[in-house]
Each structure stands twice: as C-alpha cells, then as structure tokens.
Structure 1
Amino acid sequence: MSKSPIWSDVDFDKEGVQKGFLRLPTSRHESAYGSILIPVASIRNGGGPRVIVVAGNHGDEYEGQIVVMNLMRTLRHDEVRGHIVLLSALNAPAVYAGRRTSPYDGGNLNRVFPGRPDGGPTEAIAHFFETTLLPGADLVVDLHSGGSSLEYIPSAVIVNSAEESRLRKLLALLRIFGFPVSFVTDAPSGANRSLAAACERAGGIPCLSSELGGGATVSIATLKLAEEATRRVLEHIGSIRSVHGQKQPAPIALYRRVPFKDFVFAPCGGVFEPLVRLGELVDRGSDAGLIHTPSEPWAPPRRIQFAQSGLVLCRRFTALTAPGDCLFNVGIPFTEADQ
C-alpha cells in the first residue's frame, strides 16, 4: 500500500504541547496547489496512556467539536500524563461546510474506513487515521451527535463485545462518562467501515462514543455534561491528573439499541409529525408519528407505528421527510447477559 499523502507540522513523538495541522494536498478549480488543513494538537508528557479524542467525524455535529476545541485551549502540559492527541475536525471539509459529508467527494468519513491513500480526500483521511494515528492508542473517544437530520437523547455509546473482559472495560467507561442514558449497539452504524471498526482492527482498542443531542444545534446543559464527562474519562485512565475535582458520575440507565432493521423508517415522503418525545417508553405497534402530504392536503396522513417496544433514543429532527428516512430508533434494557 502506498504511503499516505498527508503530512503534518506536528511531531507526534516530541515532548510538550504542539498545535498545528494535518495537511492533505488537493488540486481543484478554486485552488490548483491547495491543501486541506485538519487541526490537531499533541500533548506528550513522559510515560502514560496514549489517548485520541476525536470530533468532526461528521461535520454537522457540533457539541463534540466544542468539547475538543476547549481541551485544545485549556489542557496544560503539566497536567497531562502520557500522550493525548486532539482532533476537533477530523473530516475538515465537512466541518467547514457544516455538512455530514465532505463537499470535496461526498464522503461520509465514518463509512469509508480503512480508506485508501490514493483515494479521495475522505478515504485518505480515514487511511491516515487508521494507519498512522491509531496504532498504539490505549483509548479513542469519538464524539458524535445526531447532526442536522436527527436528534438523540444525550447519551454515551459502546459497541457490544462477545469477549467478557473487554465488555466489562467498555461498560466501565460508560459508567465513568456518566451520561444518565447510555446504550450498547450490537454493531457500529457504519459496520466494518466505521472508526469503531478501525479500533477493533487495531487490536481491540477501546472506543467510547457519544450521541450528544443533534439537530445541528448546541445545548448548554448537554455541552456542560459532555465536557465534564470527557475530562472524567481522561482522569479515570490516568491521562490527566485529577486536579479539576470532576463530579462523580450518577448511576446510568443502560440500554441496547435495537438492530437497524427495527428502526422506524418513513414509507413515503411528506411532512413528519412526531407523536412521541425522546426518552418516552413506547410499545410495539403504538403510534410513532404521522406523515402529511402537502400536495394532497385533504388526504388523511400516513400513520407510522413502532416496530419494537422500548425507550425512544432518537428521532428525526427535520420535518420534511423522504421515503426510507429514519424517523425513530429505540433501546431496550441491557444486561451483560445480552452480550
């Protein structure tokens, strides 16, 4: 496999605090000799764990971007142990455009791992992350939210594991992160093309993710929880010294998100009217929402039902809906016997 075209003015083997960019050369009509600049901070202080904190995997998910930018601004060399790599805008073209996918190539970064060094910009970013940044990491924190089209109940997320000891470690991270609702997925949303799958290929590096709301907005309360939770996890694994007096996490309610096939999908296009709220308990077959047809306003709306009982984890945020759009997904109570 050919060498990555991405280079950096940050030396990740060097002690101290460095802030700069990953640089991916590009050539397009607007800039013949241009580069995509991906902000990165590297803080290395002696021996200790190596942690990567990522946001901007999708460009329209803003809460995590703010969390990582604040860490870039505030983390001091003397409070770090080991090595922390901070990436606030991993898919930088998508972040700068405020889009889920890259305007350069339409790439969804969380669907193209392991990528290719000679592919489009999104594939090149995925390849560099998986082959250059990821090896040797002890933990990856990948901060997501619902983006423009979805809204999640603020939550932390892990991928289920058949290996009991690995699952216990991941569940411990959920409890330390301490969001009131957390959930386990049987497989990452992007299957083997996701960042979580890249962590699995790299020797089973623990990957802690999140869904910090959505709707392309930022909640004051959720952002505060997310900043506290991220620092608490870094303190827990020994990456930063316990000098901030982080609040102890409250007990969490733990769920398993139902499989993709059991999400609620729109069977037709129109204007979506939800009939339930995030965090509500629903029954299989109960009403989820209505889809109205603007071109036939006199026609009765299409009534949509839930395919599974459970707690509403996610809903469509945007009212205008096309056939096949996800309208809801739910979680059912999780126990370690579910692994």
Structure 2
Amino acid sequence: MSETRKSRVLCDVDFDRDGRQTGFLRLFHSSHVSAYGFLPIPIVVLRNGEGPTALFVSGNHGDEYEGQLALCGLAQSLDPERIRGRVIILPTANYPAALAGNRVSPVDNLNLNRIFPGDPDGSVTEQIAYFISSELIPRADLVCDLHSGGSSLLYTPCSLTNHVADPDLFRRQIAALRAFGAPLGYVQGRAQGQGGNLTLGGVAERRGIVTLGTELGGAGAVSAEGLAIARRGVRNLLVHLGILPETEREPAEETRIYGLGGQDHFVYAPEGGVFEPLAEPGETVRAGQPAARIHTPETPWAPPAEAVFARDGFVLCKRQPGRTLRGDCLYVLGGAFTPSG
C-alpha cells in the first residue's frame, strides 16, 4: 500500500476535534439513477482530549447484523464527556451491501473483507477498503471488526483473533479477546491460505495494531444472544483500553478459547444436494463421527453422500441453507488452544 496515494473519499468529520461528530464518508459514484451522486457511508467520532483510539467496524459484510445494531447503540449512548481519547464508529462499512442485506456489494460484486488494502482509483468496494486502510486504521490503537455468519452460516456467538508472529502483539490480542468477554473465543491461523492478508484485520496486524473480530450468530437474522455479547463487549474493550473508566466494565464469564488451524477443522460438502446436518453449533464431536448426509431428491434412488469430522473438536458453526454444492463449507471446528499458538 502506497501511503502517497490519497483516497478519493471525502469525510464530513474532523478526527481531531473534541465532542461528538456524526456525518458521512462521501464516495462519489455515478449510476443510472444518480449521475452526480455519492454513497453516504455513516461515520461517528467521539473524542475527549488525548488518549488511545478505538476503531469499531461492522457491516463489512452487509448480511451480518448484530454488529451493526451494537454499534448503532454505542453511537447513541456513548457520552464523549465520559471518555478519554477517541472512538471511531463505522457501522455499515460496506454501505451498498448493508442496504441490500448481501455479503458482497451489489455495485461491483466484491467482498470487502477480501480486497484490503484496496485501491483509491478502483471500484466502489476497493475505494472503501482503501479509505479504511489509509485513513482509519492508522489512527487506531485497537481495531474491532464485528462479524457474524451472514446468510450461509450459523455460529455459536464468539470472539476471535489471529495468531501473529510478533509475541508481544499476540499477547495483547489475547488480552483483548479476554477483555471483550464473549463466552467463547478462538484463535485462527491461515487454514484457507493467505486470504487473511487481504482482510481489514490483516491490514491492522501488519501495522502492529491489536485486532479483534467476532462471529455473533448468522442465518441472515439477528441473534439476541450475539447482540447482547456485542453490546457488552464493545464497552468492555473501551474499558480495557482506558477510554472508559473501570466502573463501566460489565461482568462477563471467563472466555473459553479454542484454536482453529488446518484444513482438518473444516468439513466441506463432498457432493451437491440437500444438506442434512448431523451435529449442531455448540456440540463436541469426535474424529470419524458422521457430520452430514448430502441427499439428491432429484435422484431419489441414489444413497446420500456422507461427510465425517476429520478431528475432535467443538462445533463453532454450520452451514445454514439446505441446498449445497460440492465444496461448500458445512462446519468449522474449534480445537485445543495453547498460548504459544
């Protein structure tokens, strides 16, 4: 990412001004229905003097709602007079996708969380990624990117972070994971290749910034449990950073942390058809245990294909839609975690 290239996105707020500011990122986009219009991506900034900065993002994927609601609540309730430092809130980062309720943008069909650090001269989604990478992340001491399973997955609500090579950064990320206070958390590696390098969190980690994520539910709906965890967690992170006083901390049970490493943590559909789940999120499973049957009602005399779990683990999430294609992810398992990663 070249630091000399300037984002084309205009911003209504002054990041260095005290008080509460609300406004929009103005991403100019010419379309059939709006020749000279802009996409108004809402942003909220609260500041009270010098101190640490927390960046909270949701709507990175537009069909993930718990984080969006939690950050709307934070934007409405947080009193700038009670904080020390700065809080930046971006509730619908991929604004077109959020309005459409889609994982990817309906404008350019791009997944925001797979194209960081973006391009200031690129498509709409690439410009959003570049603004976040160049203007928001560098200002932060902690980045929290709130996700859930979206339309295709259903998660046991949890928080997450990445295993990073820098031992001090990894220690601080685990501390933030525990401070968030979700009942479950996991530490992920690079089980699906280097895609993590193209995420919002990957940009922050390469800058040495503490980064935390969540998976708060899914199935294209709002999980009441996941929303409650998010609302508590974002405030507890502000306490953890020293932006809010200790008296604002909300009690939470100790986080049980799992690891998510290689491909044996994933179960994929061996064939296309109708997915019959044989385990649910929150269950503990064993290696060799049947995970799913894939039926083909269009060929009713054919026996179902079967998928099995390749390892012992805790079911973090399962696929939601019944119809599936070969290669779709059916389950993700958490395994044993050690502080060394």
Of 5, 12, 16 in structure 2, the residue corresponding to residue 9 of structure 1 is 12
CA distance in 2, matches of 1:260, 1:10: 43
**Letter of the 2:183 counterpart:** P
Q: Which runs of 5+ in 1 are unaligned?
A: none
Contact 2:265 2:334 in 1 (8 A): no
Map of 1:130 onto structure 2? 133
Contact 1:212 1:226 in 2 (8 A): yes
What are the equivalent positions in structure 2 for 1:1-339 lying under 5 Å apart? 2-187=5-190, 190-201=195-206, 203-244=207-248, 246-247=250-251, 249-260=252-263, 262-337=265-340, 339=341
CA RMSD of aligned residues (A): 1.5
Moved more, 323-332 or 300-309: 300-309
CA distance in 2, matches of 1:261, 1:250: 29
Provide the aligned length of Structure 1 versus Structure 2: 336
Contact 1:61 1:147 in 2 (8 A): yes
| SS of equivalent to 1:31 | coil
Runs of 4+ off more than 6 Å: none
Cα offset, 1:241, TM superposition:
2.8
What TM-score results when the alignment is normalised by the length of structure 2? Answer: 0.95
Cα offset, 1:2, TM superposition:
3.8
Deviations 1:41-85 (A, max 9, x none): 010100110110000000000000000011111111111210100
Contact 1:258 1:329 in 2 (8 A): no
| SS of equivalent to 2:168 | helix
CA distance in 2, matches of 1:94, 1:188: 26
Flag the 1:188–1:114 CA change in 2: closer, same or farther, 3 A. Answer: farther
CA distance in 2, matches of 1:42, 1:92: 18
CA distance in 2, matches of 1:302, 1:8: 53
Deviations 1:106-153 (A, max 9, x none): 010000001001110000000111111111310001100000000111
CA distance in 2, matches of 1:262, 1:312: 9
Flag the 1:261–1:110 CA change in 2: closer, same or farther, 3 A. Answer: farther
CA distance in 2, matches of 1:270, 1:91: 32
Contact 1:188 1:197 in 2 (8 A): no
| SS of equivalent to 1:207 | strand
Flag the 1:188–1:142 CA change in 2: closer, same or farther, 3 A. Answer: farther
Contact 1:2 1:118 in 2 (8 A): no
| SS of equivalent to 2:129 | helix
